[in-house]
């Protein structure tokens, strides 16, 4: 679907915006989790760039996630 990516990215998550739908956890469990309130927790702040993180950001319904290229 897309060319392999190299390097890392920084993941920014705004917990005030998150609606806890868990799409990010489904997209990339290595990077995202939800706390007891159901809100997003970033497990790895500078993960390797990849389809999983990209997909998480793209499918986040609330716009809570952003990537900054590392």
Partner 1 sequence: MSETTTAAELPVYMRRDGFDPAPELGALREGERVGRARSPFGVDVWVLTHHDDVRAALADSARFSNATPMRGMPGMPVPDAATLARMRAGNPLLADPPEHTRLRRLLTPEFTVRRMRRLEPRIHEIVDERLDAMQRCGPPADLISSFALPVPSLVICELLGVPTEDRAGFEHRTSRLLDMSVPPGERMRLQAESREYMARLVAREQRDPGEAMLGMLVREHGDDLSTDELIGIANILLIAGHETTSNMLGLGTLALLRHPDQLALVRDDPDAVAPAVEELLRWLSIVHTGVVRTTTTEVEIGGTRIGAGELVVFALPAANRDPDATTDPDRLDITRGEVGHLAFGHGVHHCLGAPLARMEMRVAFPALLRRFPGLAEVPGTAAFRSFHVVYGLTGLEVTW
Interface residues toward partner 1, by CB under 8 A:
1, 19-23, 25-27, 33-34, 36-39, 55, 58-59, 61-63
Q: Which stretch binds ligand SF4 (CB under 6 A): 3-11, 16-24, 47-55?
A: 16-24
**How many other CB atoms sit within 10 Å of the CB of residue 70?**
11
Alpha-carbon span 27 to 18, nearest angstrom = 15
Under 8 Å between Cβ of 11 and 50 = no
Would you count residue 53 as binding ligand SF4 (CB under 6 A)? Answer: no
- Applying CB under 6 A, among 5, 11, 12, 20 the residue interacting with ligand SF4 is 20
Among 9, 13, 31, 53, binds ligand SF4 (CB under 6 A): 13
The count of other CB atoms within 10 Å of the CB of residue 56 is 25
């Amino acid at each position: 679907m897309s060319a392999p990516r190299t390097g890392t990215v920084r993941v920014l998550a705004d917990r005030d915006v998150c609606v806890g739908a868990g799409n990010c956890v489904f997209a990339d469990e290595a990077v995202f989790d939800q706390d007891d309130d159901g809100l997003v927790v970033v497990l790895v702040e500078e993960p390797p760039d990849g389809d999983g993180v990209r997909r998480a950001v793209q499918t986040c319904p609330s716009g809570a996630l952003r990537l900054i290229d590392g």
